Structure 1
Amino acid sequence: MNFIYFLTLALQAALVFALSTFLFDMVHYLLHRWQHSRFALLREFSRWHDVHHKFLDAEINVHPNWAKANLWCHLVPEFIVSILGTLLLVVFFDWIAVALVILVHTGLFVLRVRDEGKDVNHMNMDRLNGRRGHVFVTPTYHALHHVYPNQFFSSFLSLFDVIFGTNCQIKGQRFLVTGASGAYGQALTARLKKLGAIVDTAKFGEDYEIDKYDGLSEKMRKADILVLAHGSKSDDCWTANYTSFVDLIEKFRVIGKDRLTPPEIWAVGSEIELHGDMGIESLKPYATSKQAFAARAREFYTSPDLTYRHIVPAAFTSRMGKGLMSADVAAALSLFFIRRGFTYVPVTYTTLAVWNYIRFRFIPWPKSVRKAPIFNKSA
């Protein structure tokens, strides 16, 4: 009986802590929105929070001369909001669980005061990690909020950003898109522009050719995010779907190696990564090239030098053939998931892309999958 009670108490305390941080995240979001409020008091609260962004600036440098102001304008208000939010939960949870969480918040506050506001999430950083974290907020995740103050509001769990779609900066970001004349590329480009992105395109035969990418150097230097939406089902699938994808990613990685935020890549895969050619001879070149890239993409996905997103759509209507959804729906769903922090993006009505996540992340591909097949040699 005592064991069950203590287990229940521990679970309640964990839930209270998570909910109290979520309530703080809501206030955190409002502090940014209140910058332009018509009410002077709300604008003043927002200015207090702005002190915290001066303490840790957009270049992720800590400024000790702002430490005292950060204490009174950020740490103390943050502590008060956390305690009040936790106390509200006593209506729904055991008071002992609530008291334990208050002790945790108090301990964290004391440590932050002792360290003058510096902790694992508030320190000088020369380079952020491409792996931002998913469920829990990591130092890189919180640093991104200081780089992009209107995104990444979550403080402990990423729940707030997942719910409200504030997990990816799009407005003002510079995108370089391949395959922008295709159905998906056109739809995605249009939606990115509506969200305030600055979009440029990379055209095969004009800006680059296979093994000749120097013409893209300047565009890549200006780009924050590279979107690879080109591809082929017929003409030299291997070159279009594997070689060019890998070469462009590696070039963008080198160009962005000294940036504070690692280069970000969105690459369009396919559900054929999972089900293969299904014995259909005409699909073999396409399936082979897509599976080969998926095998290589696992390395990009786990690299700290990149933020890599693998987009896996089910068939959509395009020049390649008919699908049960339009390219615009596929683009809309892609952005829905990306804005919520997904790095593996399942755009599916078949559920195959969901199952493919297991294949993509956890089942090693044979090394032979990356070798160009003979039937492509003469293409």
Structure 2
Amino acid sequence: MDFWDVVAFFLEALLVFVVATTLFDTLHWLLHRWENSKIPLLRTFSSWHWVHHKFLGLDMQINPAYARQNIWLHVLPEYLTSMVAIALFLIAIPWQPVAVVAVVRTVMFVMSLREEGLDYNHMSMDRVGGKQGLLWVNNNYHAMHHVYPHNFFSSFANTFDLLVGTTCQIEGRRFLVTGTGGAFGSAMVKALEKRGAIVEIAKSGVDFSAGSYAGMDEKLTRADVLVLSHGAKTDDCWNANYVTFRDLIDRFTVIGKDRLMAPEVWALGSEVEFHGDMGLEELRDYSSSKRAFAARARQYYRSDDLIYRHIVPSSFTSAMGKGAMSAETAVNIALFFITRGVKYVPVTLTGLAVLNFFRFRYANNAGDETLSPAE
């Protein structure tokens, strides 16, 4: 085999594994959909699968009483479904990469049998951390499915959830949203409520202000997700765009440190993080405050203590002026990415928010936190 033969072999094996995994994940999704089917046989199949959720429950604790049933009704069907899907590739590609994937899948199956259904993604957990894979499923990611059984269906490769948009639970979760007097915040509330969320609001200057957050503790305690969409473009930018964002996130993280699930935060950034003030005096304070928060936000983005999503829109129509899109469109684009597990969320027509990802993720811009006067 020369180099390109090896590459082709690897790519073929990867394709087989990903597609086979995706086909099982599709069946997995159907088993949940069949829970309330009018067809008794489909409801029976669904009930068999729910044994797996009794084996590893909503509290993320293993129940050994269901270990044997879990093997017969989940582990074995998952393996057989995958093997059938793998075998179908014999029609289209050489047998060698298909055989390798079949062997790997069989080894995984045997190891799961030896551990009575336990593996890296199926074990008791006292805390589901914020570091979750996007393209590949890790234990934190799969734990989300056991806490929120109607989302997070992907088992190994995250193809299914990325395609279908089942990578964020919204229905039934409690959201605390700031900035609801503005265009983006008000549109976010409507969109979340439409998707079945329980939404509470918090007003800057009423419920909190820089250095004054005691009145927020009760609301933060009730919230599963904190959505920060308040801010200012001219007056007191430093406190509005940096200090209050930082302090509320830190406070929410502390309040949620003993929860089973890491707290989740969505925070509104700006493309000014990328292009700066462009020499315009009227953008100087706004740019400094937004860039400072972006530098801080990168720490949240990397943290296991919370699930942090950084939303970066281009201009949208608001009280501040006409934009390239409506606030409703900006929110819908943001939710499209969020429900696919994206943590850096570009909402852009210009493309600057996409380019900003590399600055946000990799640039050494920690000094941006000092670009504006300290509190």
Deviation per CA, 1:290-339: give whole Å up to 9, x if none. Answer: 00100111111111101000000000011122211010100000000000
1:2-17 equivalences under 5 Å are 4-17=4-17
Shift of residue 210, structure 1, vs aligned partner: 1.9
Q: Please give the secondary structure, in 2, of the residue aligned with 1:151.
A: coil
1:286 aligned partner: 286
Deviation per CA, 1:43-86: give whole Å up to 9, x if none. Answer: 11101100000000011101111111111111111111111111
2:125 aligned partner: 125
Q: Is the 8 A contact 2:296 2:366 kept in 1?
A: no
Pair 1:371 & 2:370 matched: yes
The aligned amino acid for 2:100 is: L
1:203-222 equivalences under 5 Å are 203-222=203-222
1:65 aligned partner: 65
The aligned amino acid for 1:15 is: L
5+ residue gaps, structure 1? none
Rounded to whole Å, the distance in 2 between the matches of 1:298 and 1:206 is: 28
The aligned amino acid for 2:354 is: V
The alpha-carbon distance between structure 1 residues 240 and 83, as it changes in their structure 2 partners (threshold 3 A), is: same
Rounded to whole Å, the distance in 1 between the matches of 2:299 and 2:6 is: 43
Deviation per CA, 1:247-288: give whole Å up to 9, x if none. Answer: 111110111010111110000000000100001111101001
The aligned amino acid for 1:272 is: V
Q: Is the 8 A contact 1:167 1:339 kept in 2?
A: yes
Deviation per CA, 1:200-254: give whole Å up to 9, x if none. Answer: 0001232122211111111111100000000001111111001110011111011
1:85 aligned partner: 85
Deviation per CA, 1:14-65: give whole Å up to 9, x if none. Answer: 2111110011111111010010111111111101100000000011101111
Shift of residue 143, structure 1, vs aligned partner: 0.6
The alpha-carbon distance between structure 1 residues 6 and 301, as it changes in their structure 2 partners (threshold 3 A), is: closer
The aligned amino acid for 1:47 is: S
Q: Is the 8 A contact 1:238 1:372 kept in 2?
A: no
Q: Please give the secondary structure, in 2, of the residue aligned with 1:136.
A: coil
The aligned amino acid for 2:182 is: G
1:173 aligned partner: 173
1:147 aligned partner: 147
1:52 aligned partner: 52
2:193 aligned partner: 193
TM superposition score normalised by structure 2 = 0.97
Rounded to whole Å, the distance in 2 between the matches of 1:133 and 1:37 is: 32
Pair 1:226 & 2:221 matched: no
Rounded to whole Å, the distance in 1 between the matches of 2:4 and 2:228 is: 52
> Percent identity among equivalent residues?
53
Q: Is the 8 A contact 2:204 2:230 kept in 1?
A: no
Pair 1:99 & 2:99 matched: yes
Q: Is the 8 A contact 1:56 1:146 kept in 2?
A: yes
Q: Please give the secondary structure, in 2, of the residue aligned with 1:293.
A: helix
Q: Is the 8 A contact 2:67 2:117 kept in 1?
A: yes
Q: Is the 8 A contact 1:188 1:331 kept in 2?
A: yes
Shift of residue 7, structure 1, vs aligned partner: 3.9
The alpha-carbon distance between structure 1 residues 104 and 295, as it changes in their structure 2 partners (threshold 3 A), is: same
Rounded to whole Å, the distance in 2 between the matches of 1:360 and 1:141 is: 23
Q: Please give the secondary structure, in 2, of the residue aligned with 1:308.
A: strand
1:137 aligned partner: 137
The alpha-carbon distance between structure 1 residues 8 and 372, as it changes in their structure 2 partners (threshold 3 A), is: closer
1:323 aligned partner: 323
Shift of residue 373, structure 1, vs aligned partner: 2.9
Rounded to whole Å, the distance in 1 between the matches of 2:212 and 2:135 is: 40
The aligned amino acid for 2:188 is: L
The aligned amino acid for 2:315 is: A
Rounded to whole Å, the distance in 2 between the matches of 1:300 and 1:3 is: 41
Deviation per CA, 1:113-133: give whole Å up to 9, x if none. Answer: 011000110111111111111
Rounded to whole Å, the distance in 1 between the matches of 2:243 and 2:8 is: 54
The aligned amino acid for 2:183 is: A
Q: Is the 8 A contact 1:9 1:94 kept in 2?
A: no
Q: Is the 8 A contact 1:12 1:93 kept in 2?
A: yes
Q: How many equivalent residue pairs? A: 375
TM superposition score normalised by structure 1 = 0.96
The aligned amino acid for 1:262 is: A
Rounded to whole Å, the distance in 2 between the matches of 1:74 and 1:342 is: 29
Q: Is the 8 A contact 1:54 1:66 kept in 2?
A: yes
Rounded to whole Å, the distance in 2 between the matches of 1:32 and 1:73 is: 14
